[in-house]
Structure 1
Amino acid sequence: MLDTPREQDFDEIAELASRICETPIAVVNLVGNGRQFFKAEVGLGVRETPLDSSFCARAILEQDFMIIPDATKDTRFDCNPLVTAENGLRFYAGALLKTAEGHPIGTVCVLDFKPRNLSDMQQTTLKVLARQVMRQLELRRTLRERDEAQAQQAVLNAEIAHRMKNTLAMVQAIATQTLKGVTERDAVEALARRIAALGSAHDQLLQQDWTAASLEKVVRPMLLLHGDGGRIRASGPDIDLGPKATLSISLLLHELATNAAKYGSLSAPEGKVELSWTIDDTGEEPVLRMHWQESGGPEVNEPSQRGFGSRLIQMGLIGKGGVTKRWLPSGLVAEFEAAMSGVKAL
Structure 2
Amino acid sequence: MQRAKTKRTRFILADTPPKQDERLKTLHSYNVLDTEAEADFDDIVDLASKICDTPVSLISLVDEGRQWFKARVGFEPRETTLDQSVCSHAILSEDFVEIPDMGADPRTFDNPLHVRDPEVKFYAGANLVAPNGQVIGTLCVLDTKPRHLNDFQKQALQTLSRHVMTQLELRKKIRLEAALRAEMDHRVKNSFQTIASLLRMATRKVDDPDAKDVLALVERRFGAVASLHSQLMTRDGEGSVQTVSFLSQLGKLLTAGAPENIAIVTSADDGELEVGQASAIGMIVSEFVANSIKHAFPNDQSGEVTLSLRARGEGRWLLECRDNGGGHGGRVSGADSTGLGKMLMGSAADQLNGRLEADFGASGAVMKVSFSS
Check whether TM > 0.5: yes
Deviations 1:190-243 (A, max 9, x none): 45643542353243133135988823433445566379476x664433765537
Tell me the amino acid that sits aligned with residue 7 of structure 1: A
Deviations 1:144-173 (A, max 9, x none): 22332233233223322322222222322x
Q: Which residue of 2 aligns with 1:139?
A: 170
Q: Which residue of 2 aligns with 1:167?
A: 198
Distance in structure 2 (CA, Å) of the matches to 1:113 and 1:26: 12
Q: Which residue of 1 aligns with 2:37?
A: 7
> Does residue 215 of structure 1 match 2:244?
no
Q: Which residue of 1 aligns with 2:77?
A: 45
Give the deviation of 1:96 after TM superposition.
2.0
1:197 to 220, 228, 238: 220
Gaps of 5+ in 2: 1-30
Shift in CA distance, 157/330, structure 1 to aligned 2, threshold 3 Å = closer
Distance in structure 1 (CA, Å) of the matches to 2:323 and 2:45: 68
Distance in structure 2 (CA, Å) of the matches to 1:196 and 1:162: 11
Shift in CA distance, 317/47, structure 1 to aligned 2, threshold 3 Å = farther
Q: Which residue of 2 aligns with 1:107?
A: 138
Q: Which residue of 2 aligns with 1:316?
A: 345
Question: Greater CA deviation, 103-112 or 218-227?
Answer: 218-227
> Does residue 178 of structure 1 match 2:201?
no
Give the deviation of 1:47 after TM superposition.
0.5
Give the deviation of 1:115 after TM superposition.
1.6
Gaps of 5+ in 1: 341-346
SS of residue paired to 1:94:
strand
Under a length normalisation based on structure 2, what TM-score does the superposition of the two structures give? Answer: 0.66
Q: Which residue of 2 aligns with 1:344?
A: none
Give the deviation of 1:57 after TM superposition.
3.4
Aligned-pair Cα RMSD in Å: 4.3
Aligned residue pairs total 322
Q: Which residue of 2 aligns with 1:55?
A: 86
SS of residue paired to 2:320:
strand
Distance in structure 1 (CA, Å) of the matches to 2:206 and 2:329: 34
> Does residue 77 of structure 1 match 2:112?
no
Residues 27 and 110 in structure 1, CA contact (< 8 A), matched pair in contact too: yes
Question: Greater CA deviation, 124-133 or 190-199?
Answer: 190-199
Under a length normalisation based on structure 1, what TM-score does the superposition of the two structures give? Answer: 0.70
Shift in CA distance, 93/193, structure 1 to aligned 2, threshold 3 Å = same
Give the deviation of 1:308 after TM superposition.
3.2
Q: How does 1:233-244 map to 2 (within 5 A)?
A: 234-237=266-269, 240=273, 241-242=275-276
Q: Which residue of 2 aligns with 1:261?
A: 296
1:249 to 284, 288, 291: 284
Residues 316 and 337 in structure 1, CA contact (< 8 A), matched pair in contact too: no
